[in-house]
Structure 1
Amino acid sequence: MVRNPERRTALVDAAIEVLAREGARGLTFRAVDAEAGVPAGTSSNYFASRDDLFTQAGRHIHVRMAPDPDEVAEVMRPGPSRALIASLMHWVVRRMTAERTGYLAMLELRLEATRRPALRTELTRAIRADLEANIRFHVESGLPGDPDTVRLLHFAVNGLLVEVFTLPGVFGDDPEQSAHERESADKETSRLVDLIVSRIVPD
């Protein structure tokens, strides 16, 4: 059977939406077909199994969440400094907040990877490659710090984002709160990003 690459991508994007909304248990062929607005049975023609669907979602999510090179170039216009790294980290948080669906789906995929070897292999490869690329970028750009600086920033900011996306009440950010209270929570997140950079990145 001839398969349409664009249709496959649309199905994987639909799978990511389902993951973010329903969790790993909700990721079924039927749910993906419904999310993509295609006839029942379509996704089962594109993916050999549910395991294959998870693996393809893990492979595609990094493409979906990758930053635009032009945006990176714009953020990097100032000279290398600790302040620039702080700007980069704030930008990362803003991007992840804007791509909330993708980030939540990634968390679901990480948990599911503990039970699916093929998915674990794919996520490990992709995240390791992403981290190594960030290290090269940091060093070649002349930013302060060394490879371990990048690793520590990676783990610290990702840990912060897990709290922001899964337990926003830790920061006082709750859907029932007023706009003013949510703004205060955003300021606290911003303050913590600055603190992470100041503690990890050499002056």
Structure 2
Amino acid sequence: MSQTRERALDAAITLLGTGGVHALTHGRVDAEAGLPRGSASNHFRTRDALVAAAVERLEELDRRDWAAMNLPREPTLDLFLDAVERFVEISVTTDRVRTVARYALSVEATHDPRIAEALARGAGLIQEWGARVLADLGAADPQAAMRTLMAYADGLMLRGLLRPGTAEPRERMAAVVRACLGRPGDGPERGRGDPAPLSP
């Protein structure tokens, strides 16, 4: 990807995450990216092409960040909870703009199958990793369990975006994971203190 194209798409994601889909225009992308006027339209002839490329850029960033995460090879309940907590916290703090952009595009995806497909590919990265971990932890139906946990995480992220600083107690997260594992009577692994609150 050329540097100009990458700058334009990162600017498009910033606009989506700060102003919603109506903020996304070729001219505003040029201004946000500090590019000469007409640069975005030169790379993306239509607004639909710009939106589609922004979704693909989100997927690319997701793959890059997911590959960089230090994910456990021998998972335990505690390590899995660590990963869930970290994912939710990063999504509503460091990557807040990207998360809001993804939600904005999710609305567009309800009537644009291309956007829906691209967003689904990004979500599939997390789905497959989580299902493998849950299988190792003993889940009877790892894929279904991970779909439930992803819906739960989506709720936590949306709440975190709307109410910054709101943290889900770790014991409540552990209870949800245990329920998905089919082990409602188990307790979380020992050795952890109280959960740290999410940063505003």
TM-score scaled to structure 1, two decimals? 0.76
Alpha-carbon distance between aligned partners in 2 of 1:138 and 1:198, rounded to the nearest angstrom: 10
Q: Which string of whole-angstrom CA distances, capped at 9 and with x for unpartnered residues, describes residues 150-195 of structure 1?
A: 2211111112212221x31xxxx5xxxxxxxx4xx33x45554334
Change (3 A) 1:130 1:86: closer
Gaps of 5+ in 1: 174-181
Change (3 A) 1:10 1:69: same
Change (3 A) 1:144 1:81: farther
**Paired position in structure 1 for 2:67:** 69
Judge conservation of contact 2:62–2:122 (CA < 8 Å) in 1.
no
Alpha-carbon distance between aligned partners in 2 of 1:116 and 1:46, rounded to the nearest angstrom: 21
Could you tell me which of 173, 178, 186 is aligned with 1:193? Answer: 173
Judge conservation of contact 1:51–1:116 (CA < 8 Å) in 2.
no
Could you tell me which of 20, 33, 36 is aligned with 2:33? Answer: 36
Say which structure is richer in helix.
1
- Percent same amino acid among aligned pairs? 27
Q: Over the residues paired in the alignment, what is the CA RMSD in angstroms?
A: 2.4
Q: Which string of whole-angstrom CA distances, capped at 9 and with x for unpartnered residues, describes residues 48-98 of structure 1?
A: 21011111111111222343535324xx16x43222221121121122122
Alpha-carbon distance between aligned partners in 1 of 2:171 and 2:30, rounded to the nearest angstrom: 42
In structure 2, what residue type is equivalent to 1:69?
A
Report SS of the residue matched to 1:72.
coil
Match status 1:86 vs 2:81? yes
Alpha-carbon distance between aligned partners in 2 of 1:195 and 1:137, rounded to the nearest angstrom: 17
TM-score scaled to structure 2, two decimals? 0.77
Could you tell me which of 105, 127, 130 is aligned with 1:131? Answer: 127
The number of residues matched between the two structures is: 179
